[in-house]
Amino acid sequence: MSRPRTPGAGSPGAVVVGAYLRALRESTIGLHLLDVTSAAGYRSTKTVLRMERAETRQRFSVIVALLRLYEVWTPQEEQAVLDLVRQGDQPLDKHGASARDRLASCWCAAEEIRTSASRWLPPSVQSTAYAAEYAKTHPAESNACPDFPEPAAGRLLTLLVNEDILTRPVGGPEAMARQLARLQDLILEGILVLRIVPASVQSAVPRSLTQFDLNGQVRLYAEELPDGVRYSPGPEPGAALDRLEAGAYSLAVGYDRLEAARAAFAEGRS
């Protein structure tokens, strides 16, 4: 009989917590790694880095001490983080107010991201006006690290988007025209790979499923649900994304669809 995995050492929940702690550390002004090492009660900074990569056990007392150091005082958030470490392979985070903070931390830590969107474009590609409209609909969700990083060199984003998102007037015609132009710019810069999925394609993929490639070796999946985010390893979630991508338009046809939607909104603005 194989031994059960040690809580906090390599489980999906531990990977999320590690990325979250790293994001909090990097976004805290004036804080050095030596300060974190001391607060954690460790002798070596390497131990802190290994904990952030979920390569070593994440002790509850250390996690609580670091949350205090990073000025995270909410009892619900503390409990949610500890639950992620404790519950092993299939943690379900029901504390929605901070779930997006931890999800954003994974975006910060990932070298490559593949995500599906059926209702809203993900925060990393949202324009200012689109993001403002999103905030009206999701007032309880804040962005962490301190926010979702934009696509950039070294962080490739593949976005599988439902075609309806390109024609839905979020924030009005002018805002949508600018939002779609932003997507075009990211594509031309080689930062974004946009796969547009026809509305007629039926898929078992949830409203948002994201694949994170972390530390060059860890593959983590985050499935957004009405009551939180479920984190899991592969290969089933990856296969679901593969099936969705297989039903998408070709890149050339998808770009033409994007341009047609942008032009339609631009004409509606004038």
User: Do 228 and 155 fall into the same domain?
Assistant: yes
Same domain as 143, residue 185: yes
What is the CATH classification number for the domain harbouring 47?
A: 1.10.260.40
Give pLDDT tens digits for 175-203: 999 999 999 999 998 889 999 999 888 77
Residues 170/133, Cβ–Cβ less than 8 Å: yes
In 3D space, the residue among 87, 93, 110, 108 whose CA is nearest the CA of residue 14 turns out to be 87
What count of residues does the chain have?
270
117: β partners: 161
User: The domain spanning residue 103 has which CATH number?
Assistant: 3.30.870
* Distance in angstroms (rounded) separating the CA atoms of residues 212 and 115: 9
Say what the pTM is: 0.80
Question: How far apart, in whole angstroms, are the C-alpha atoms of residue 81 and residue 104?
Answer: 14
Nearest one of 204, 258, 206 to 229, comparing CA atoms: 206
Domain identity same for 71 and 155:
no
Q: Are residues 84 and 102 in the same domain?
A: no
Total of domains in the chain:
2
Q: Which residue has the tokens 């994007």?
A: 258
Question: For 117-170, how does the pLDDT look when each residue is reduced to its tens digit (9 = 90+)?
Answer: 888 888 888 888 888 887 777 655 544 444 555 655 567 889 999 999 999 888
Residue range(s) defining the domain that contains residue 145: 90-270
**pLDDT of 114 above 60:** yes
